[in-house]
Amino acid sequence: MALHPILPVIAGESLTSYLNRVARFHCEMDLFDFLEFIGVSRSKLITPRQETIDRLETLLGLSSRQLNTMCFQSLGNRQRMIAGEPVHVDFADMKKTCFCPCCLLEDASPASASRGVRVGRVSWQIEHIRACSVHGVELVRGKVGRFSDGLHLMAEVAPDDEKLEQLASEAREMGASALETYVLRRLKGAAGPTWLDDQPIDLAARTCEMLGTFLVNGPNANLNLMDEAAWHKAGHVGFEVAALGANGIREALQAHLAALAPSARCGRAQKVLGFLFKWIQFQRGAKDKGPIRDVLREFILDNIPYEAGSELFGEVVDRQRVHSSYTLSKKTGLNQSTLHRAAVLHGLLDANQDRILSHHVFDAEKGEEMAVRLSSAFSVKDLESFLNCSRIMAETLSRSGVIPRMHITEEKGRGTRKSIAPEGAQAFLDDLMAQANRVGKPSEGMMELMAAGLPARWPTIDIIHGILSGAFDRVEVVDPDLKLQGILVDPYEVRDVLSRRKGGGRVGKHEAAALIGMSVQDFQLLLTMRDSTGQPYITVQVEEKANRRPVQLFALEEIERFQQDHVALREICEVAGASPMGMKNKLDGIGAVQITACVPGVRVWYRRADVREVM
């Protein structure tokens, strides 16, 4: 049977406060006598269980749902519930008292809603509420002195009105933070940012405060020395970021990381993220931290090298996502300076190619692929052996661009630097041998390639260009295993053809590509492309040979004009002193459009007119 008339609940009022007013209104008793009268112990009222809520529902005439918004109902196992929100016990510390002196002074007025009785607000018990949203002042916190103070009865835990007047006059101004506003609105059933709403309210609040502390005070903040104002500011800053969701948090962390001094960014995650990392990594027996764990874990794996099989936040890392030059050097045994320079020049890393910093990281999979290529790279001495040619010829083929070099640090020692791509050397040999007819014995007048230059009166490299372009009818090989030493040509045919072709200002495909500084594959791509007027960049001229095999030739005039009008990204970077990745982002920003995508991040070409302002 409910007590009638049912006393109206004041907005935000705690259950203890309401029972105190009911006791006075209906029975003219104080709270403790009233609890004894109705058979409810004080201990059961601090964090009531469901049976106590059911009893009070019958007695007070209020719904169980409304009663649950007025107190922290015990669920057992250090869990409580308020307004249908399950929370951990530390969401509300029942061993602390808290009040707004301005609110209590207003309650003392006979004209107030409580008619002069002090009203306790349930929100004052929430650990993350530090300001009065009505008066804009800091709440006064204290310690529970007696067991009964745990009921937070304002007549018992707050001082007399004279002292309240003093506290009110001395109260520090503190408006409700964005986090506090969110918490109070959510307890009233209002929807908020999805990422926060999708997790328990206590985890959301704690995440905002920890994230804000990191962003405001840095990774070395001492949480034990932070006062209420510091936590209040941290909650506000953290909420503004967390409200943007996982992507917003990652962006804020990335910006914070980028702003750190290089010395502060070097090291493992514990050094870079400090207390934020320790909060999750070293408290495995504590309560769940919520989705911030996964956000931080993804951020760490994307920015700090963690080997596959290592453990992070209690979970095994399935694959390494990023490498530094140091970690890749440790894994592959390659020189870290070589790896760093190669990563910069191949567009994996936006950095100074001559300065290695441990926080400079790049994609692990692409980095390891690059390392494999570097490990298998040829030196000029290796190329000499592979092609079975002289050292001078090997150097000429490499330096002229007929066989492309890899863009890496060239270590000291002539002939020993490994900078030649094996696949490029193999492709060159395959193309050369494809132009030769297999014979049992040399035809009359044929000479070895290396010896034919003198009677032909042309350098061997020009003869090789002629062979690759299909300019000669008579090219033979008796033993392909001899490679370049096995190629035979007619020196007099060579003299006639090259004199006629060079006199006409035309070159073959391989020579044209080498003159521009492209690979043959990239040059082939260029031939298929058109400029803004719809015209080809380079015109293909086809010449029929006596053996009816067509030969593609290209005018030197057009090649020179292409070089005058266009520039490679690598050349732009050399002039501007920038990395390929950084320069490409800058060129994208000014609207410069690459004309062809050659070797990714290195051999990209632009119109000179579009990039003058950065050169």
Q: What is the 3-state secondary structure (H, E, C) of 275-312?
A: HHHHHHHCCCCCCCCCCHHHHHHHHHHHHCCCCCCCEE
User: Whole-angstrom Cα distance, residue 424 to residue 183?
Assistant: 64
Q: Report yes or no: 232 and 174 within 8 Å, Cβ to Cβ.
A: yes
Residues of the chain whose pLDDT is less than 50? 409-416, 598-602
In terms of Cβ atoms closer than 10 Å to its own Cβ (0-12, 13-18, 19+), residue 262 is exposed
- 3-state SS track over 4-48: CCCCCCCCCECHHHHHHHHHHHHHCCCHHHHHHHHCCCHHHHHCC
Tokens of 312: 């992070």
Closest CA to 150 of 100, 99, 101, 97: 97
Q: What is the DSSP string of 180-231?
A: HHHHHHHHTT----HHHHTS-HHHHHHHHHHHHHHHHH-TT--GGG--HHHH
Report the C-alpha gap between 377 and 426 in whole angstroms: 12
Domain ranges of the chain: 15-170, 178-316, 322-375, 377-420, 421-560, 564-614
- Across the chain, how many H-helices and E-strands are there? 31, 19
Distance CA(36)–CA(31), nearest Å, equals 9
Closest CA to 604 of 613, 615, 590, 593: 593
- Which residue from 403, 333, 345 is spatially nearest to 372, judged by alpha carbons? 333
Q: How far apart are CA 207 and CA 294, in angstroms?
A: 12
With a CB cutoff of 8 Å and minimum separation 6, the contacts of 530 are 536, 537
Closest to 400 (Cα-Cα) out of 464, 332, 492, 478: 464
CA distance 264 to 259: 10
What pLDDT does 503 receive?
A: 66
What is the four-CA torsion angle of 285, 286, 292, 298, rounded to 10 degrees?
A: -20
Q: What pLDDT score was predicted for residue 523?
A: 86
Distance of alpha carbon 8 from the chain centroid: 54
What pLDDT, on a 0 to 100 scale, did the predictor assign at position 587?
A: 85
Q: Is 108 helix (H, G, I), strand (E, B) or coil?
A: coil
Structure-derived torsion over alpha carbons of residues 431, 432, 438, 442, reported in degrees to the nearest 10: 170
Dihedrals phi, psi of 114, to nearest 5 degrees: -95, 0
pLDDT of residue 286: 64
Nearest to 509 by CA among 545, 474, 467: 467
Q: Are 95 and 146 in contact (CB under 8 A)?
A: no
- Burial of 82 from C-beta contacts in 10 A (0-12 / 13-18 / 19+): buried
